[in-house]
Amino acid sequence: MIRTRFTELFGVEHPIAQGGMQWVGTAELVSAVAEAGALGFLTALTQPTPEALTKEIERCRSMTDRPFGVNLTILPSITPPPYAEYRQAIIEAGITAVETAGHKPHEHVAEFKKHGVKVIHKCTAVRHALSAERMGVDAISIDGFECAGHPGEDDIPGLVLIPAAADKVTVPILASGGFGDGRGLAAALALGADGVNMGTRFCATREAPIHDRIKQAIVANDERATELLFRSYRNTARVAKNAVAVEAVRIEREGQPFEAIAHLVKGARGREGLLNGDPDHGIWTAGMVQGLIHDVPSVKDLVTRIVSDAEAVIQNRLTSMIQPA
């Protein structure tokens, strides 16, 4: 058993979180993560309305009596979703842990804290983590350049970013980006984190609500099988490398505006691919950790294996290296 500030703060057995993942963070996966003793997060905006989110929370509660949370990601948009209504649905449902991410979450963090909700904020830079700490969040998820989704614009990998954050941030830290096995968990703890936050690794589990051909594509891919989209638009996103992503990058590098690739990168198109099992149908989020994923286990087996392997690394491999002077 590995106990950290994270496990103590959120009342879970293992220092592992499954962060919010658009289209993937549903009750099937989140309840399995909770049952395995880790902390899972439903993705609020996967649900089309706040009312649908309330029902998904209820559905998850019918599948587990263990702790789980909700992710609320704030993205700049011309026509933003009703964030305040989603926030209120989370509070009224009695959720006690929220993962926030994205653009200017101050209003939401303040309201969650007012209602006793513990908040983990995802950051891609130490300066952002310090700002979130001043905002009053309870924990930080620090995302290295290896991560799926939005790694920020600084391109700092986890090996540097995690200890840099640990040197300055006083609240518990989750290491995110490139984690998928026990070696990674042990390394994250050694670097000063209190646990790991995994996304892509949880996609390749039996309970993940995506087509098996997508899971097998993750297993087949190596660490080079990602593309970085939207770099020139200052909104970098790491996605799985496929025909659509390669074409979008080609058009972007020609200096074309976002409108020229919008039809390729539509979220609805990516979701269709996750469900119909065509890895080339649209863009879908995946990290460099694909190179460390070799199977599609149950969530419980995965979490048990990661913790067991991390304990072995700490107790056997590392301890055996220490010799009397």
Distance CA 102, CA 81 (A): 14
3-state secondary structure the chain: CCCCHHHHHHCCCCCEEECCCCCCCCHHHHHHHHHCCCEEEEEHHHCCCHHHHHHHHHHHHCCCCCCCEEEEEECCCCCCCCHHHHHHHHHHCCCCEEEEEECCCHHHHHHHHHCCCEEEEEECCHHHHHHHHHHCCCEEEEECCCCCECCCCCCCCHHHHHHHHHHHCCCCEEEECCCCCHHHHHHHHHCCCCEEEECHHHHCCCCCCCCHHHHHHHHHCCCCCEEEECCCCCCCEEEECCHHHHHHHHHHHCCCCHHHCHHHHCHHHHHHHHHHCCCCCCCCECCHHHHHCCCCCCHHHHHHHHHHHHHHHHHHHHHHCCCCC
Question: What was the pLDDT predicted at 237?
Answer: 96
Q: Shortest CA distance to 22 belongs to which of 237, 295, 291?
A: 237
* pLDDT exceeds 80 at position 31: yes
Query: Which residue type occupies 79?
Result: T
Q: Are 196 and 184 in contact (CB under 8 A)?
A: yes
What is the reported pLDDT for 283? Answer: 97
For residue 286, pLDDT over 80 is answered with yes
Buried/exposed code over 99-137 (b: 16+ C-beta within 10 A; e: otherwise): bbbeeebeebbeebbeeebbbbbbbbbbebbbebbeeeb
pLDDT for 323 equals: 87
Tokens 């070799």 belong to residue: 294
Q: Does residue 228 contact residue 238 with C-beta atoms inside 8 Å?
A: yes
pLDDT tens-place string over residues 67-91: 999 999 998 777 899 999 999 999 9
**Could you tell me how far CA 206 lies from the centroid of its own chain?**
18
Question: In this predicted structure, what is the pLDDT of residue 296?
Answer: 98
Q: Are 309 and 301 in contact (CB under 8 A)?
A: no
Q: What average pLDDT does the segment 248-269 reach? A: 96
Give the gyration radius of the chain's Cα atoms: 19
Q: Which pLDDT score is estimated for 25? A: 98
* Model confidence at 324: pLDDT above 90: no
CA 60 to chain centre: 18
User: How much of the chain exceeds pLDDT 90, in percent?
Assistant: 95
Tell me which residue has tokens 């099988």: 225
pLDDT of residue 154: 97
Average pLDDT, the chain: 97
pLDDT band at 103 (very low <50, low <70, confident <90, very high): confident
Q: How do beta strands 226-229 and 237-240 pair?
A: antiparallel
* Statement: residue 140 has pLDDT above 90: yes
Residue 243 tokens read as: 């025909």
Mean pLDDT of 130-135: 97
0.95 cut: is pTM over it? yes
The Cα 17–Cα 28 span in angstroms is: 15
pLDDT tens, 195-250?
999 999 999 999 999 999 999 999 999 999 999 999 999 999 999 999 999 999 99
Confidence of residue 160 (pLDDT cuts 50, 70, 90): very high
